Amino acid sequence: MLFGIVQKKKMHEKNVFTNLVPQIVATVLGTLMAVSDGMTYGWTSPMIPYFKSNQTHIEVTDKDCEWMETMVLFGASAGLPFTILGVNYLGRKKCMIISAAVGCICWIMILVGKSLAIIFIARFFSGMAGDMCFVAAPMYIAEIADHRIRGFLSAMIYLMMLVGMLLVYTVGSLTPFIYVPIIGIVLTLAQVIFFPLMPESPYYLVYTNKNEDAKKSLVRLRGADANIDQEIFEIEKAVERQKTDKGRPQDLVLIKSNRRALLIMLILNGTQHFVGISVVFMNLHVILNEAGSVYMKTSTAAIIFAVVLLISASLASAIIDKFGRKVLLILSGVFTGAVLFVIAIYFHLKNLQYDVIVVSWIPAVCIMIYAATFKLGLGLVPIVVTAEIFPTTIKAIGMTIADVIYVVASIISIVIYTSLYESYGMHAPFYMFGICSFLAVFFVYFGVPETKGKTLDEIQLMLKGIKPEDFESQYKSKEINKSNDVLE
């Protein structure tokens, strides 16, 4: 009898794993463009030295290099209207395919281009493609994932981006110019070819009144032996309920639950940059040179930094559904803040003319610890939470605004860093970043709900302040409609 129980348990575990495989495959195939986007983001780091060398096939000036870096951000901004319309009217899946196709064309242009203008155009449109990818893919993943592994799958897109950055840092530094675009072409072309075989989001299909297609999609995602009747019923009920929100842009601030989601998104996405990640990414060489370290080359530090980011993000994605979003955010905020203060104190002592050469290893070591603690929570969890907290009707608008905030906060943090650094010294911006990290801990503790193990509908009820067990009676009496329409 005991043997029979053990066998049944093993069969159940096997079926659970088998039923999760289609979701994992869809996520991996749908985020190959994220690898390409990571390569695009980090491409200028190894390529600018190439363009300035005697081996370059295109002559550039320092001003050209600045434009080469910022052209991606301009493209991302220009692509926002197309992204909002695309994910709502074409669907998440088609937008992810379009994004990969555009990315593929951009890499081909970079590979065969013989002029700076072609490079600029390719970088601009690759920014548009990356923006569409990082709006459509998180939405798609959150809507296809079983709640048991939604955090893990939602984190996958960031992992893939980090893989792209590591690829471009290593391949771009160690091989001829042509190899990076060739890798980008292969990755994006693979998504264009294979991702169309994956199902569309069942939430989107129900939202567009294709309920039978939604059932077929869910069967493919959960497995042929899965009982999808209850889940499809819950999706239909959730979409019907959320359609009481009109999906207008102003509903982001007029409806209380959306306002709360917007505030959470603004703080979490802004915090990523106000704890210094963009500054460290773009000024790693400057920071380590300022530290006067004699223990590590900056080029070596950059590769190690990218490796640590990837390892830490992988660990976070593996444990996010076990320990929850809030725990990772709080731990990350505390340890990141502590590391930032250590770096600030080192630079402050150096600025006061203390002899710190014996401990000049501290900034390099702390930067690596910073990479680990940041990606454990603050650098990865926000993209997961942002994909979970907006209702279907305005998810596209919410995710797009999140993308805007990400870019704007990055620019502001760099401007503040430059101003403080030039006025007071390297220690000043790091003190500010440390303070922001600890402030984020307080906000997360008091203001961010735990979404671990919750369905997307339960998360909406939680943001509205409604307990799931109390909802049915309110829904039947249509009081929920009043809750949605009150303009507070």
385-426 confidence digits (pLDDT tens): 887 888 767 777 777 787 778 778 877 887 888 889 888 988
Closest residue by Cα to residue 249 from 80, 12, 469, 126: 80
Identity at 380, one-letter amino acid code: L
As a whole number, mean pLDDT of residues 144-157 equals: 83
Distances (CA, A) of 275 to 115, 288, 335, 429: 38, 18, 12, 9
Average pLDDT of the chain, as a whole number: 82
pLDDT tier, 10 (very low <50, low <70, confident <90, very high otherwise): very low
CA distance 451 to 349: 42
For the cut 70, the answer to whether the pLDDT of residue 14 exceeds it is no
Tens digits of per-residue pLDDT, 40-60? 888 887 787 788 887 888 888
Closest residue by Cα to residue 393 from 84, 93, 27, 83: 84
For the cut 50, the answer to whether the pLDDT of residue 277 exceeds it is yes
Tell me what pLDDT residue 374 has.
92
Tens digits of per-residue pLDDT, 211-269? 888 888 888 888 766 677 888 888 888 777 766 665 666 777 777 888 888 888 889 98
Closest residue by Cα to residue 304 from 161, 156, 169: 169
**Maximum Cα–Cα distance for the chain, whole Å?**
78
User: What is the pTM for the complete model shown?
Assistant: 0.73
Taken in order 249, 250, 255, 260, the sign of the CA dihedral is positive
Tens digits of per-residue pLDDT, 423-454? 898 899 999 999 999 999 999 998 888 888 78
Tell me what pLDDT residue 8 has.
43
User: Which DSSP symbol is given to 199?
Assistant: P
Torsion angle (degrees, nearest 10) of CA 296, 310, 43, 91: -170
How many percent of the chain have pLDDT more than 90? 25
Q: Which residues contact 435 (CB under 8 A, 6 or more apart)?
A: 337
